[in-house]
Amino acid sequence: MSFPLLTATAAVPALGAVATAAVPAERRAAAKWLALAVSLVTLVLAATQLVRFDPDAKGPFQLTESHAWIAAFGVRYDLGVDGISVVLIGLTALLIPFIVLAGWHDADPLETHSSRWRPTQGFFALILMVEAMVVIAFEATDVFLFYIFFEAMLIPMYFLIGGFGDRAGERGEAESATQRSYAAVKFLLYNLVGGLIMLAAVIGLYAVTADQLGSGTFSLTEIVQARAAGKLDFATTTERALFLGFFFAFAVKAPLWPLHTWLPNAMGEATAPVAVLITAVVDKVGTFAMLRFCLQLFPEASKWATPVILVLSLISILYGALLAVGQRDIKRLIAYASISHFGFIVLGVFAMTTQGQSGATLYMVNHGISTAALMLVAGFLISRRGSRLIADYGGVQKVAPVLAGTFLIGGLATLSLPGLAPFVSEFLVLVGTFSRYPVAGAVATVGIVLAALYVLVLYQRTMTGPVAEPVREMPDLRARELAVVAPLIALLLFLGVYPKPVTQLLDPAVAHTMSQVHESDPQPAVHVNDAHVNDVEAAK
């Protein structure tokens, strides 16, 4: 038996989490280094996956592992990666070390806490636990296995949001604790309700397969093959109901308007690294699952729902951007910007064109990196001043030029400046959408204009102008912080100029998904050319 690489990629952070949690209370520093080391080992494993993954190989999944698990439920421990999941696992494993580094001091205990309360160990253990669960969710090719970790990751996330926040600052400890626990509960309830509705659909899926195939199965490959062979045939209403059950959960997670309201609370109250974990890592599971499960399991229903979903994603794009313009809180602004970007991703997925889906999958990666860069720098800024309000800053670029510069690059990436990575993906999404739904493409373009507005206004108000009094003594980025930001910015520049290493992994997987939906790209509209050709022929 070959080395179970996929299991190892998830098992290393899981075991690392347990080990980190077990570090004695007074050895806090050891817990941090241990967590960093574990996240780096995971990164090496994820990189190995990328190396061993063959983009040109036949078959939907590679590096597969398959073991019997819960036979009574027809559940197998089936893992496998396609181009999309291998890239997203790489993104996850890449971001976690930066999240760990950026959060180095976020969970140092206050003196008031009793000696048995070990927040630092808990913080890093929870981050690693989330990583393990996200990785296995990306790898799972069994719907049930996916569901288990899709739901289970809520619990560590919940503790990360509710248990750790920025230094209280002017709001006072009690008030900020209340806000935090509100945000955590809101996060959990939204996602739990989404998940439970999906559970009903998962059970329904089992009932249908058990009914038609003789024995129930959750295997994505098996179900897709059975459908192709005509052995499995969903009734139209059943398929639509199941699709809606799945999509609802993913739309909460992604999040899509109008199910998005937990995100600004959660990202606002959580520390910046945890906010990155939410938006750049965990939420990607939602958009990823739309591609992998909604489209592949329920192609007909996906097409049926496309018009509504496109409208929702357009609303997300515009609504998120408009609210971002109006925010007074830096972290909430970035949260609303993310909602706008998730709108783009969903738009690309459901435009059902190769370019749209390639753009959307690439966007998942780029959004992860650019939001991480922007949010982490914002976090460094906030930790210096102890306030999240934009109005409390001004002229930072004079006292902390490196901080301001990295913030600007992160911001420019967020507004999709050409030359930075998100531009490529946003462009692809728009082109892909336009070729099938010109109106939707045109409306989405407005989102780009608004993005320029909210990013530049944010930069202008915080970084330029006269130096605000409390900012005067603000130190510039430290070595640790620079070590977090510099690689991310380098990556943004690199992928902005040369996205091919990523796209060549994504494209075959996208093509496969497209073929599952029985969808092909629309022919370019060539009436003019036809007429021209006719003219030419007539002239002959």
Q: Give the interface with another protein as residue ranges (CB under 8 A).
A: 68-73, 113-114, 116-118, 147-149, 151-152, 154-155, 158-159, 162-163, 173-174, 177, 180-181, 184-185, 188-189, 192-193, 196-197, 199-200, 203-204, 206-207, 210-211
Q: Around 100, how many Cα atoms within 13 Å sit in the side-chain half-sphere?
A: 32
Q: Specify the residue, 73 or 498, whose C-beta has the smaller distance to another protein.
A: 73
Q: Specify the residue, 84 or 154, whose C-beta has the smaller distance to another protein.
A: 154
Q: Specify the residue, 53 or 164, whose C-beta has the smaller distance to another protein.
A: 164
**Contact indicator for 455, 414 with CB cutoff of 8 Å:** yes
How far is residue 59's CA from residue 80's CA, in Å, rounded to a whole number?
11
Torsion sign across C-alpha atoms 353, 355, 358, 364: negative
Q: Specify the residue, 128 or 339, whose C-beta has the smaller distance to another protein.
A: 128
Q: Report the nearest approach of another protein to the CB of residue 109 (Å).
A: 10
Q: Specify the residue, 1 or 71, whose C-beta has the smaller distance to another protein.
A: 71
The closest of 419, 247, 275, 401 to 337, measured between CA atoms, is: 275
Q: Report the nearest approach of another protein to the CB of residue 442 (Å).
A: 39
**Contact indicator for 444, 430 with CB cutoff of 8 Å:** yes
How far is residue 301's CA from residue 295's CA, in Å, rounded to a whole number?
8
Burial class (CB in 10 A: 0-12, 13-18, 19+), 128: buried
Q: Specify the residue, 67 or 480, whose C-beta has the smaller distance to another protein.
A: 67
Q: Report the nearest approach of another protein to the CB of residue 281 (Å).
A: 19
Residue-level length of the chain: 540
How far is residue 385's CA from residue 400's CA, in Å, rounded to a whole number?
12
How far is residue 129's CA from residue 121's CA, in Å, rounded to a whole number?
12
Q: Specify the residue, 2 or 114, whose C-beta has the smaller distance to another protein.
A: 114
Q: Report the nearest approach of another protein to the CB of residue 435 (Å).
A: 39
Q: Specify the residue, 191 or 338, whose C-beta has the smaller distance to another protein.
A: 191
| 75 φ, ψ (degrees, to nearest 5) | -100, 135
Q: Report the nearest approach of another protein to the CB of residue 199 (Å).
A: 6
Residue whose token pair is 């600007």: 408
Q: Report the nearest approach of another protein to the CB of residue 186 (Å).
A: 11
Q: Report the nearest approach of another protein to the CB of residue 171 (Å).
A: 15
Q: Report the nearest approach of another protein to the CB of residue 173 (Å).
A: 8
Output the six-digit token pair for 79: 């893992």
Q: Report the nearest approach of another protein to the CB of residue 69 (Å).
A: 6
SS (H, E, C) 44-86: HHHHHHHHHCCCCCCCCCEEEEEEEEEHHHCEEEEEEECHHHH
Q: Specify the residue, 113 or 518, whose C-beta has the smaller distance to another protein.
A: 113
Q: Report the nearest approach of another protein to the CB of residue 231 (Å).
A: 19
How far is residue 160's CA from residue 179's CA, in Å, rounded to a whole number?
14
Output the six-digit token pair for 134: 């996200």
Q: Specify the residue, 108 or 173, whose C-beta has the smaller distance to another protein.
A: 173
| 79 φ, ψ (degrees, to nearest 5) | -120, 155
